[in-house]
Amino acid sequence: MARTFFVGGNFKANGSLKSIETIVSNLNAAKLDPNTEVVIAPPSIFLLSTAASASNGVKVSAQNVFDKPDGAWTGELTTKMLIDHNIEWVILGHSERRTIFKESSEFIAEKTKAALDAGLKVILCIGETLQEREAGQTLNVCCEQLKAVADKINDWSNVVIAYEPVWAIGTGKVATTEQAQEAHKGIRDWLASTVSSQAAEATRILYGGSVTEKNCKELATQPDIDGFLVGGASLKPAFVDIINSKL
């Protein structure tokens, strides 16, 4: 089964009306690889304006969502709100949510289940710290984070996994091509043994962690790397080059 290449842009807490309008205009006007799925995730205050202006096949994602229905959850977005505004995607489990906001793997799994049950598609982030990598725990950590989700869901067809080594996010350090492929293959093997061979074959696994237009083409050649989740580089014109890394 051929997996559609996927490139996501996580703007994090960056941007203004003007700068995001410029980013979207550039994407709208660019010649993008028609065989690559493109999803951008602006801060929540810009979700509706971005969704209204994005074209050229570009979809929009929220950066987070709560696991409960509408209610007294100050500061949160619910799945119903995203569905009501035709936002198709949400990023969950990003290392910044895990480390800075202390979200447990179990909480992320609950949010993933709630999002999928509501009809959203999920970019599920996993990854290890430098200390965990140096201790040889990369796959143990990633698979434990995935197992929390596997305990809650059965259908992975609307999940895209983003492997993001924490030590490579925003640091300028990038896993070598060999390190990234090894981790991706290990994750796919875990899916095959724990979920199903069909899920392993069909689920897209993205690499994230200081991806740029300079390193994306080599990473994109690997058999188990199905795209990228891009942070800072998604705010720059070179994001188009990353989208087109398979051309």
For residues 213 and 241, the answer to whether their CB atoms sit within 8 Å is yes
Catalytic residues: 94, 164
The per-residue b/e assignment along 28-48, b for 16 or more CB within 10 angstroms, e otherwise, is eebebbeebbbbbbbbbebbe
The pair of three-digit structure tokens given for residue 107, joined into one six-digit string: 């909480």
- N- to C-terminal Cα separation, the chain: 20
N residues, the chain: 247
**Which helix H or strand E contains 198, and what residues bound it?**
helix 197-202
CA 140-185-177 angle, to 5 degrees, is: 105
Q: Specify the pairing of strand 205-207 against strand 121-126.
A: unpaired
The pair of three-digit structure tokens given for residue 101, joined into one six-digit string: 């906001």
The pair of three-digit structure tokens given for residue 64, joined into one six-digit string: 């987070």
Q: Any bridge partners for residue 206, and if so which? A: 162
- What is the rounded distance in angstroms from the CA atom of residue 205 to the CA atom of residue 221? 13
- Around 195, how many Cα atoms within 13 Å sit in the side-chain half-sphere? 27
